[in-house]
Amino acid sequence: MVTRTNLISRRMALKFRQLSISAVGSLKIKLLLLCCFVFTLTLLASRTPSFLGWGQESVPSLDRTSSKGYTLLINTWKRYDLLKQSISHYTTCPGLDSIHIVWSEPNPPSDLLVKYLNHAVKSNTKDGRYAELVFDINKEDSLNNRFKELKDPITDAVFSIDDDIIFPCKTVEFAYTVWRSAPDTMVGFVPRIHLLDPSSEKENSYIYGGWWPVWWTGTYSMILSKASFFHIKYLRMYSNEMPSSLLEYVKKNRNCEDIAMSFLVANATSAPPIWAKGKIYEIGSTGISSLGGHSDKRTECVNRFVSEFGRMPLIPTTVKAVDSRGTWFW
């Protein structure tokens, strides 16, 4: 009899243990499910503000009316397809006020090209008006042409670009917003760095650092003018206040006008530029940066400009501007 009761109680104990094990198991699963749920919720909430009832209508829209927009300053050289593609794209962007095409070819733009571009501009009317299109024709072929003073500037903001890269309107708008919060600063998408040359005996000897050192160190001190916003006053300063020997050097070597502009702005502001995050699409690949020996030439420019300015004005920074709507967890 004793053994029988024993057996029963043992069986019950076993059963109880199985029960409690499965209870703990389901608790874990529940916790896991809860985590998944919270995670999904956070993801959804950060992606779409409307998910939690914060619809777009309750968020004040980014104000564009208080500014006059920006002037697109595009540098081109015998690549009409790229030029057409670029202009057609940018005319669809809000905030675009006017387009200045820096033209340094010996022949003026063909009627066909002018007609095509004018049509592209006019087919993208916004609020009953369209962007003004101007060819800035230059007699001589010099890289300094790209920063010539504009005759009738309407906007404070200049968006300087090469004809072989395209940025989505959203990216441009974002950089423009960043620029408006710091209008003296250069804001753009292609960062570069100057590094101290450890092999040189001279104290202030530098090396031009391309994409790799920027990526590796997360540090930059220049924003290239092939894709950047800056204040229109810097065009005047570039032509009128830059040492003429420096302008001559840029013209002769057909290089480094963008580094010169970075020096000019850094010298004037004593502050670093701002790197804005954005999508880049390269539509051509015949730029000078793909040619060999490019980096050595750029290093030469940096050291040359340091001696022209009498000091190194560039200031390194690690700050990067990011659109908070595009990041899902702060």
Ligand X SMILES: *[C@@H]1O[C@H](CO)[C@@H](O)[C@H](O)[C@H]1NC(C)=O
Stretch of 66-74, 110-118, 204-212, 240-248 contacting ligand X, by CB under 6 A: 240-248
Closest contact distance (angstroms) between CB of 282 and ligand X is: 32
Instruction: Identify whether 152 is a catalytic site residue.
Output: no
Closest contact distance (angstroms) between CB of 233 and ligand X is: 12
> Does an H or E element contain 187, and which?
strand 187-188
Closest contact distance (angstroms) between CB of 271 and ligand X is: 13
Q: Which residue has the tokens 């302008």?
A: 247
Closest contact distance (angstroms) between CB of 36 and ligand X is: 58
Q: Which of 55, 108, 243, 326 binds ligand X (CB under 6 A)?
A: 243
Listing DSSP states for 199-232 in one string gives T-SSTT-EEEE-HHHHHHH--BSEE-TTEEEEET
Name the active-site residue from 162, 163, 164, 258.
Answer: 258
Distance CA 68, CA 130 (A): 13
Q: Judged by CB, which is closer to ligand X: 45, or 268?
A: 268
Does 241 bind ligand X (CB under 6 A)? Our answer is yes
Residues 266-295 that bind ligand X (CB under 6 A): 267
Q: Which of 93, 301, 309, 314 binds ligand X (CB under 6 A)?
A: 309
Q: Using CB atoms, what's the residue nearest to ligand X?
A: 267
Stretch of 16-24, 57-65, 199-207, 238-246 contacting ligand X, by CB under 6 A: 238-246
Q: Judged by CB, which is closer to ligand X: 175, or 260?
A: 260
Q: Which residues contact 89 (CB under 8 A, 6 or more apart)?
A: 166
Q: Which residues pair with 275 in a beta bridge?
A: 188, 320
Does 249 bind ligand X (CB under 6 A)? Our answer is no
Q: Judged by CB, which is closer to ligand X: 241, or 248?
A: 241
Distance CA 320, CA 317 (A): 9
Does 184 bind ligand X (CB under 6 A)? Our answer is no
Closest contact distance (angstroms) between CB of 70 and ligand X is: 24
Does 185 bind ligand X (CB under 6 A)? Our answer is no
Where does 223-269 have alpha helices with state H? 233-240, 244-253, 257-269
Stretch of 90-98, 236-244, 286-294, 320-328 contacting ligand X, by CB under 6 A: 236-244
Q: Which residues contact 225 (CB under 8 A, 6 or more apart)?
A: 146, 147, 160, 186, 188, 257, 258, 261, 262
Closest contact distance (angstroms) between CB of 232 and ligand X is: 17
Q: Judged by CB, which is closer to ligand X: 124, or 269?
A: 269
Distance CA 83, CA 255 (A): 21
Rounded to whole angstroms, what are the CA distances from 272 to 28, 192, 265?
51, 12, 9
Helix, strand, coil percent content, the chain, rounded in steps of 5: 45, 20, 35
Q: Which residues contact 236 (CB under 8 A, 6 or more apart)?
A: 149
Q: Judged by CB, which is closer to ligand X: 82, or 242?
A: 242
Q: Judged by CB, which is closer to ligand X: 121, or 222?
A: 222
3-class SS at 120? helix
Catalytic residues: 258
Question: Which chain residues interact with ligand X by CB under 6 A?
Answer: 241-243, 264, 267, 309
